[in-house]
Structure 1
Amino acid sequence: MYANPIIWADYPDLDVIRVKDTYYMVSTTMHMMPGCVILRSYDLIQWEVATHVYDRLDDTPAQRLEDGQQVYGKGMWAASLRYHQGMFYVVFVANDTRKTYLYTSTSITGVWNKQEVEGFYHDCSLFFDDDDRIYLIHGNTEIYLTELSPDLSGPKPGGVQRLIVKDEQPYHLGYEGAHFYKINGKYYVFLIHISKASGRRTQAFYMADSLEGHFVGGEVFNDDMGYFNAGVAQGGIVDTPEGDWYAMLFQDHGAIGRIPVLVPLHFEHDVPVFASEAPKLIDISSSRPGYRYNPLVDSDRFDYIAGDEGRIRLRDIWQWNHTPHDELWSVTEKPGVYRVRTGQISPNLTFAVNTLTQRAMGPTCEATVMLDGSDLNDGDFAGLCFLIGTYGMIALTRNQGQFHLVMQARKSEDSSIFGNLIDQEPATEYARIPVSGPVVTLKAFGDFVDNQDECSFAYLDGSEWRNIGIHHQMIYKLDHFMGCRIGLFIYSTLAIGGTADFSDFKYSVINTQDNH
């Protein structure tokens, strides 16, 4: 048996498909690059990265953290993943460019071809009908069916454009997150919302006999797994080779983000019936027993070798906070080192270019790294962080030639998801100690049990770890709209050109849920 939720890390807005014996699942990655991650599994429970659909999206100044601009909480949202007649399709909108993107490939690992779809289709679901007509189902509160032209370039002239579902009850969040299917001749749309009656995320469905017909349905799943009234909802459904059905949904888990939950379902007289509760333990037969999955988070010794045309691609465990500035980083200038230098002045961690991140993973996780700051300039900060609006960090800094370790954090005035901490303000400094030299070993620890959401930091003094600063509570907010990330960073506040060398990055997930 395996613990459910199946991954204690930020993988929201899930869509899942099966191609023969293999499951693929896409998730929102917003402002992170490379973006639009697709995971692969043979049992719906254990997953590894299959690919990121793009390295860069549109390379705008905001996506590159230039001129004080940023796209935190924006970027790509809620992709639809489909496989049709030998072709993979990924469709999503980006909330900074206000465009709809379509990527296609004959292989899940690419090369992915990019095009735009005329219009903007919130939380869209791509659907190929049996008669080869193609549709997007999309919207918030009002859910629309829009027929596309055969080349998917935009709405089909004279094609179907109709409202199929409208959320008319009092709500905090109207219907959205559409996932559309045709099963046994019936048409189904699954939706998430937060009604005022439920006060939490719930799952709904509507069905019709035809695309011209009347869609009927309502609530189909309402459960929080006994976890802080955090409802489990929004995602795709998929069947196993044996014919069993599952919904891949998500649940809010505080600062760690929105994490995947599997819920069994079946059909009675064509009506989807979800389990009354999401199971705490789950087991599904694997189509490839004994398969060894690559980890979703991992240590890295940065021992990379340049490929064709001198290109370097970091392991899929890593993402940058925005589009990277490739001229400012290297893993080959000095073997075994992630070297990164600054190219602009930044007011705080939020605007640090080339912050290299991995998802934080619960219930607790820890990362350590060796940092050589010999080539830092005065006013530079380089170190290890938990990146979120309410971030915490340990950094080596230099002032008039003297090196110090500092612990800084950005606190919120409230614990709600609202409020924007993306500004030019520096974080609060809670500790500063002098160090004898520029080579230090740093540790970051995150505790996410029962939404404790605390990060703390330490440094190696000889053979002993010494804590620095406070235990800082991180709060999930809509400014980043993403779970916290462990990150390696450098930024300059006075003069550009400072360099940090990171090596021997070690990542461990501690006290994981028991899987048997």
Structure 2
Amino acid sequence: MFRNPVIWADYPDLDVIRVEDTYYMVSTTMHMMPGCVILRSYDLIQWEVAVHVFDVLDHTPAQRLEDGQHIYGKGMWAASLRYHNGTFYVMFAANDTRRTYLYTSVNIAGPWEKHYIEGFYHDGSLLFDDDDRVYMIYGNAEIHLTELKEDLSGPKPGGLHRIIVQEQQPYHLGYEGAHMYKIDGRYYAFFIHISHAAGRRTQACFAADSLEGDFEGGDVFNDDMGYFNSGVAQGGIVDTPDGTWLAMLFQDHGAVGRIPVLVPLIFENGFPVFAKQAPAMIELPSTRPNYAYRPLVGSDSFHYTPDEQGEVRLMEWWQWNHTPDDTMWSVTDKPGTYRIRSGRISPNLTFAVNTLTQRTIGPACEAVVTLDGSGLNDGDYAGLCLLIGTYGFIALTKESGQIYLVMIARETEDSSLFGSLIDQEPGTEFARIPVYDETITLKAAADFTNNIDICQFYYKSRQNDEVWKPLGITHQMFYKLDHFMGCRFGLFLYSTRETGGTADFSNFQYHQIDFPNAGP
């Protein structure tokens, strides 16, 4: 038996398919590069990274953190994953470019070919019908059905276009997060929404016998698993080889992000009937019982060998915060070291280029890294962070030639989901001590048990390497729509006065910490 939610980490806006004995699941990655992660599983419970669909998206100034621009809370959202006639399709809209993207590949590992679909379609879902006509549904509160051209490049002239569902009751969030299916000759459209009556996220479904007919339905699942009135909703459904149906939805879990939950369902009289509650424990047969999954997060010694083209592919659990500047980082200049060079002036951590991140995992986790700050210039900051709008970090900095260790955090008095922070706000320095060894080991610890959402920072020097010393405050993190993403460990360097500094990171260690009865 496995805990449910099945992954206590930030994998929102899920779509899931099965191709023969293999399940694939896509998730939103917004401003992270490489982006549009697809996971692979043989039992719907244990997962590993299959591929990131793109390395970078469009190289816009905002995607590169240039000129005070960024794509926090934007980027790629809510992809639709489909497999049809031997080809994988991934469709999503990017909320910074206001474009709709279509990536295709005959192999899940790629290469993936990039296309555009004319128009911008919020939370779209693809449907390949039995007659090879192609449709998508999309929208918020008012759900549109649009037939696409045969090559999926845009709406089909004279093709079917209609509104199939409209929100009829008072709501906080209208129907969105569309997923469209044809099962046993009947059409099904699934959505998330938050009605005033429910007061939390719920899953809805509408069904029709034809695409021209009336779609009828309503809420089909309303459960928070006893967790802070946080409704489980939005995602795809999939069948197992033996005909069992399950929905892969997600649940908001505070600062760690939105995490995947499996919910059984059956079809009765042509309509889905979900389990009354999401099970706290779940077990499903594996199509490959002895398969060993690669971890979704992990440690890194930073020993890499370039390929025949001289390129280096980092471990699949790493993602850059925004598009990296490949001229300003290396893991081969000094083997065993991730080196960042400073190439521009930045006001704070959120504009630091080449910040290398990994997801945090609940109920608690720690990251440890050794930092050589001998290459820092005055005004540089380099260290280990928990990256979120309300971030915290421990870092080396230099002032008048003296190196200091500091702990900085960005706080807010507004803990609401819609509260925002000023982009240029640098955060508050809560601790500063002089250090006389330019190499130091740092630790960041995060605790997400019952939405406590706190982080703490520690250090130890080579002279006293048996004892961790805390630095600064215990910092409260809040999940907000400013970043719209769960917090992440990050290795960073940014300059506030002059460019050209360097920071060398080595021996990165990731530790997951479990507590008895801690939840998922």
After TM superposition, the score normalised by the length of structure 1 is: 0.99
* 1:225-281 alpha-carbon deviations (Å, 9 max, x no partner): 000000000000000001000000000000000000000000111110000000000
Match of 1:276, SS? coil
**Would the aligned equivalents of 1:422 and 1:479 in 2 still touch at CA under 8 Å?**
no
CA distance in 2, matches of 1:270, 1:21: 26
**Equivalent AA in structure 2 for residue 469 of structure 1:** G
- Taking the TM superposition and a 5 Å limit, the aligned residue runs for 1:388-407 are 388-407=388-407
**477-486 or 504-513: which moved more?**
504-513
- Taking the TM superposition and a 5 Å limit, the aligned residue runs for 1:359-374 are 359-374=359-374
CA distance in 2, matches of 1:511, 1:130: 47
- Change in Cα spacing, 1:248 to 1:513, as seen in structure 2 (3 Å) is farther
Structure 1 partner of 2:156: 156
Give how far 1:414 is off: 1.4
* 1:119-148 alpha-carbon deviations (Å, 9 max, x no partner): 111000000000000001100000010000
CA distance in 2, matches of 1:398, 1:392: 19
**Would the aligned equivalents of 1:340 and 1:499 in 2 still touch at CA under 8 Å?**
yes
Unaligned segments of structure 1, at least 5 residues:
none
Structure 1 partner of 2:77: 77
- Taking the TM superposition and a 5 Å limit, the aligned residue runs for 1:21-36 are 21-36=21-36
CA distance in 2, matches of 1:411, 1:208: 49
Q: Does 1:459 align with 2:459?
A: yes
Give how far 1:308 is off: 2.2
Q: Does 1:481 align with 2:478?
A: no
- Taking the TM superposition and a 5 Å limit, the aligned residue runs for 1:20-59 are 20-59=20-59
CA distance in 2, matches of 1:142, 1:416: 27
Root mean square deviation of aligned Cα = 1.1
Structure 2 partner of 1:291: 291
Match of 1:470, SS? coil
Partner of residue 499 from structure 1, selected from 489, 497, 502: 502
CA distance in 2, matches of 1:213, 1:426: 55
**Equivalent AA in structure 2 for residue 356 of structure 1:** L
CA distance in 2, matches of 1:364, 1:83: 36
**Would the aligned equivalents of 1:385 and 1:394 in 2 still touch at CA under 8 Å?**
yes
Unaligned segments of structure 2, at least 5 residues:
none
CA distance in 1, matches of 2:350, 2:114: 29
* 1:14-40 alpha-carbon deviations (Å, 9 max, x no partner): 000000000000000001000000000
Structure 2 partner of 1:269: 269
Give how far 1:511 is off: 1.1
Structure 2 partner of 1:308: 308
Structure 2 partner of 1:190: 190
**Would the aligned equivalents of 1:124 and 1:177 in 2 still touch at CA under 8 Å?**
yes
Structure 1 partner of 2:61: 61
CA distance in 1, matches of 2:247, 2:210: 23
Match of 2:468, SS? strand
Structure 2 partner of 1:469: 472
Structure 2 partner of 1:428: 428
- Taking the TM superposition and a 5 Å limit, the aligned residue runs for 1:333-372 are 333-372=333-372
* 1:37-56 alpha-carbon deviations (Å, 9 max, x no partner): 00000000000000000001
Give how far 1:329 is off: 0.2
* 1:309-365 alpha-carbon deviations (Å, 9 max, x no partner): 101111110000100000000001110000001100000001101100000110000
**Equivalent AA in structure 2 for residue 85 of structure 1:** N
Percent of matched pairs sharing the same residue: 71
- Taking the TM superposition and a 5 Å limit, the aligned residue runs for 1:227-246 are 227-246=227-246
- Taking the TM superposition and a 5 Å limit, the aligned residue runs for 1:72-221 are 72-221=72-221
**Equivalent AA in structure 2 for residue 426 of structure 1:** P
Deviating beyond 4 angstroms after TM superposition, the runs of 4 or more aligned structure 1 residues are 512-516
**Equivalent AA in structure 2 for residue 220 of structure 1:** V
- Change in Cα spacing, 1:214 to 1:171, as seen in structure 2 (3 Å) is same
CA distance in 2, matches of 1:144, 1:426: 43
Match of 2:309, SS? helix
**Equivalent AA in structure 2 for residue 155 of structure 1:** P
Give how far 1:447 is off: 0.3
**Equivalent AA in structure 2 for residue 383 of structure 1:** G
CA distance in 1, matches of 2:178, 2:219: 14
Match of 2:474, SS? strand
Give how far 1:499 is off: 0.2
Give how far 1:513 is off: 6.6
CA distance in 2, matches of 1:149, 1:512: 52
* 1:382-403 alpha-carbon deviations (Å, 9 max, x no partner): 0000000000000001111111
CA distance in 2, matches of 1:424, 1:219: 42
* 1:33-81 alpha-carbon deviations (Å, 9 max, x no partner): 0000000000000000000000010000000001111000000000000
After TM superposition, the score normalised by the length of structure 2 is: 0.98
CA distance in 2, matches of 1:80, 1:469: 43
CA distance in 2, matches of 1:252, 1:360: 14
CA distance in 1, matches of 2:358, 2:422: 20
Give how far 1:468 is off: 0.3
CA distance in 1, matches of 2:311, 2:160: 46
Structure 1 partner of 2:328: 328
Number of residue-to-residue matches in the alignment: 516
- Change in Cα spacing, 1:422 to 1:356, as seen in structure 2 (3 Å) is farther
Match of 2:507, SS? strand
**Equivalent AA in structure 1 for residue 39 of structure 2:** L
Give how far 1:426 is off: 1.3
CA distance in 1, matches of 2:9, 2:516: 13
**Equivalent AA in structure 2 for residue 473 of structure 1:** Q
Match of 1:310, SS? coil
**Would the aligned equivalents of 1:350 and 1:422 in 2 still touch at CA under 8 Å?**
no
Give how far 1:419 is off: 2.1
